[in-house]
Structure 1
Amino acid sequence: MKLRVTLVFLAVGCLARFTYISAAESNNRPIIGILAEDTVSPYGKTYISATYVKFLEQAGARVVPIRGNQSLEYYQMMVNFTNGILIPGGAVSFIKSAVGRSIRIVFELALELNRKGDYYPVWGTCMGFQALCYLVEGSNLLKPTDSSNVTWPLYFAPEAKKSRLFGSAPPDILRILATENVTQHEHSYSILTSDFESSTLSRFFTKLSTNKDRKGVEFVSSIEAKEYPIYGAQWHPEKNSFNWNPNYTINHDADAVKVGQYVANFFVSEARKSQHRFPSLKAEVLNLIQNFKRVYFTDGSFFEFYFIDPN
């Protein structure tokens, strides 16, 4: 007999119900939340880049937006209804912004769940990577680096061989990552390797890879938490397949696409280990990102955004 425990709680002014199902059941309908970021646009106040949505969808997940400036109860509800969180990159402050507050709350909720044995993965890309480091360290260790609009291979740390993220990767993926320019960097600040190793970060995270900027300054580029399914990449795995802005240095060849697909498959496979569910099919459908306005910009940028909170 399958054990089902149903919890009923009051959140955001409505009665909601969510069901935990036994870990023996396979979750083949994973839903991942992406945090919406602040913006100034005639289309809306917050947005999510479609590149992240497509990145997750290619691996068999669906996406719901996680809004900013919401109550604690809202974030508790969304975490309990989703199977993981992706914190995207973006040119916003992760310290003083609505998305910064959202990141902090969701990160703390994810930690609490994982400490209780409720598997809940978190992925941070670029700014998301930096935000995770800030929250763990409790201070901002970022230093200026010459690492914007460039594509590099990774310098794997010895620990990568036994890591969750790279330890089971096919040999050709590891070869591509280590020898080809397939990881796109779009950041002007980084966590220097020396600062990582001398800080709290090295006790919470395992350093999986580093890179050197154009001036030879070494920084940490891939991490995973030692005890929890929390991952960070200073580089952009989603751009190889889904960002076509000609002003960006992005590798779109077959090997680069394989890398992006591998990372997406990995994180979605982590999300499949979470047994969270929306209270009903109707609630699930109404929260999916397809309900929100998508705008494709024809100004040559090739940007495609979902606007979450209309003006």
Structure 2
Amino acid sequence: MRPAILLPRMLNSWRAPEVGWCPSVLTNLINLLPIFKNRIGHNRSYYEELLQKINGLLLPGGATFFNETNGYGDAGEHLIAIARELNDNGTYFPVWGTCLGMELLVLKMANGTETRSNCQAINMALPLEMKQDYNESRLFGGASEEIITKLSQENVTYNYHRYCYKEQSFSLPALNNSWRIMSLNHDVNGIEFVSTIEHLIYPFYGVQFHPEKALYEFVSKDVPHSSSAVHSAQYFAEFFINEARRNTHSYDNATEQARSLIYNYQPEYTSVLGSGYVQQYLFEDPDIAGDGDDDGPYPYYPYPNNNGNNGVASWSLGFGLVVALTFRAFAVIMEHS
């Protein structure tokens, strides 16, 4: 089964998604494949063909804008619309959004109506403030009492975001009470924000925090790595993988799938160079990169630098990759260099 992932383009001259998502899904016997940037934002047929071969869509977090031409927002609009059509036509196709991915998912399901608010939840590990009916949800209905206790009583969910959705946003006409809110949280200024949601009709899920960082990101001292944080993060990964197993899409043959897998590419150890991520996949983009001198369209930086921001690359220009996961492999589809 092949959940697909959108990963961030972190630099002007390189595609640099963090690697943390890869092992968090590989642990659950899933595989990943990259999508070339020159497919993003246009050529809807490409996405339609891809989603017929994979088993779900995962929209990860990152730092970018939704209004960039041929960027994360454009690609996400195609993918979310196609996922919705698949479900409307009787094919079970789950979608998961983390942090910015959740924000994009809600935005596109609201037909582009912006309902986000500003908030400051930077480097905050928090317990979930569960709504009274959380156990009626698909996401938490099957969770053990042990997992719920960890999630609701310990600082196990890592937040790093400057935008959020308030609870009242989901009652606006654009969203029409079509989402179930399972938990809330509060930022450093006491502003309440929604932290977990699921759609009432479609198998679409969103979390404002970063489950993957508890498992695989060790740069920031604020990321929780306790046993409870790890078990809680793994719960979300296993839930989504089980959702993807309900989809029966597959590649036409093993060779086509194997040629798409992430194993064809090597991650770089970037935290030692100042990145906010331990490892990243770096994909060169000669179309917008400078020539190595300061007179290029952008200065040339071979690796992302967190510039003191603990995980957000300083020169983030948008999302340039779509990554698809398969039931037996973790593959990435990349742009031509």
For the aligned pair, the TM-score class normalised by the smaller chain equals 0.7 to 0.9
The structure 2 residue matched to 1:89, chosen from 45, 56, 61, is: 61
Q: CA RMSD in A?
A: 1.6
Give SS of 2:148's match: helix
- 8 Å CA contact 1:64, 1:288 repeated in 2: yes
Q: Sort the Cα spacing of 1:124 and 1:282 in 2 relative to 1 into closer, same or farther, 3 A.
A: same
CA distance in structure 2 between the partners assigned to 1:265 and 1:196 by the alignment: 27
Structure with more relative contact order (C-alpha pairs < 8 Å, separation 6 or more): 2
Corresponding residue number in structure 2 for 1:309: 335
1:156-185 per-position Cα deviation (integer Å, ceiling 9, x unaligned): 112311111111001100000000000111
- Aligned ranges for residues 118-137 of structure 1 at < 5 Å? 118-137=91-110
Q: Sort the Cα spacing of 1:69 and 1:159 in 2 relative to 1 into closer, same or farther, 3 A.
A: farther
CA distance in structure 1 between the partners assigned to 2:187 and 2:171 by the alignment: 18
CA distance in structure 1 between the partners assigned to 2:64 and 2:217 by the alignment: 19
CA distance in structure 2 between the partners assigned to 1:288 and 1:96 by the alignment: 28
1:196-218 per-position Cα deviation (integer Å, ceiling 9, x unaligned): 23343352211111111111111
Q: TM-score scaled to structure 2, two decimals?
A: 0.79
- Alignment partner of 1:223 is 2:197: yes
Give SS of 1:235's match: coil
Which letter does structure 2 place at the counterpart of 1:249? D
Residues paired across the two proteins, number: 279
Corresponding residue number in structure 2 for 1:50: 19
- 8 Å CA contact 2:9, 2:17 repeated in 1: no
Corresponding residue number in structure 1 for 2:141: 167
Q: Comparing 251-260 with 287-296, which one deviates more in the overlay?
A: 287-296
Report the alpha carbon displacement of residue 37 of structure 1 after superposing the two structures with TM: 2.6
Which letter does structure 2 place at the counterpart of 1:175? T
- Alignment partner of 1:275 is 2:248: yes
Report the alpha carbon displacement of residue 295 of structure 1 after superposing the two structures with TM: 1.2
Report the alpha carbon displacement of residue 41 of structure 1 after superposing the two structures with TM: 5.4
CA distance in structure 1 between the partners assigned to 2:249 and 2:145 by the alignment: 33
- Alignment partner of 1:32 is 2:3: yes
- Alignment partner of 1:235 is 2:198: no
- 8 Å CA contact 2:134, 2:140 repeated in 1: yes
Corresponding residue number in structure 1 for 2:89: 116
Unmatched runs of 5 consecutive residues or more in structure 1: 1-29
CA distance in structure 2 between the partners assigned to 1:219 and 1:134 by the alignment: 16
Q: Sort the Cα spacing of 1:213 and 1:260 in 2 relative to 1 into closer, same or farther, 3 A.
A: same
Structure number having the greater strand percentage: 1
Q: TM-score scaled to structure 1, two decimals?
A: 0.85
Unmatched runs of 5 consecutive residues or more in structure 2: 283-333
Amino-acid identity (%) = 32
Corresponding residue number in structure 1 for 2:330: none
CA distance in structure 1 between the partners assigned to 2:198 and 2:24 by the alignment: 19
- 8 Å CA contact 2:52, 2:249 repeated in 1: yes
Corresponding residue number in structure 2 for 1:259: 232
CA distance in structure 2 between the partners assigned to 1:184 and 1:95 by the alignment: 26
Which letter does structure 2 place at the counterpart of 1:75? Y
Give SS of 1:239's match: helix
Corresponding residue number in structure 1 for 2:326: none
Q: Comparing 60-69 with 176-185, which one deviates more in the overlay?
A: 60-69
Q: Comparing 166-175 with 290-299, which one deviates more in the overlay?
A: 290-299
CA distance in structure 2 between the partners assigned to 1:125 and 1:91 by the alignment: 12
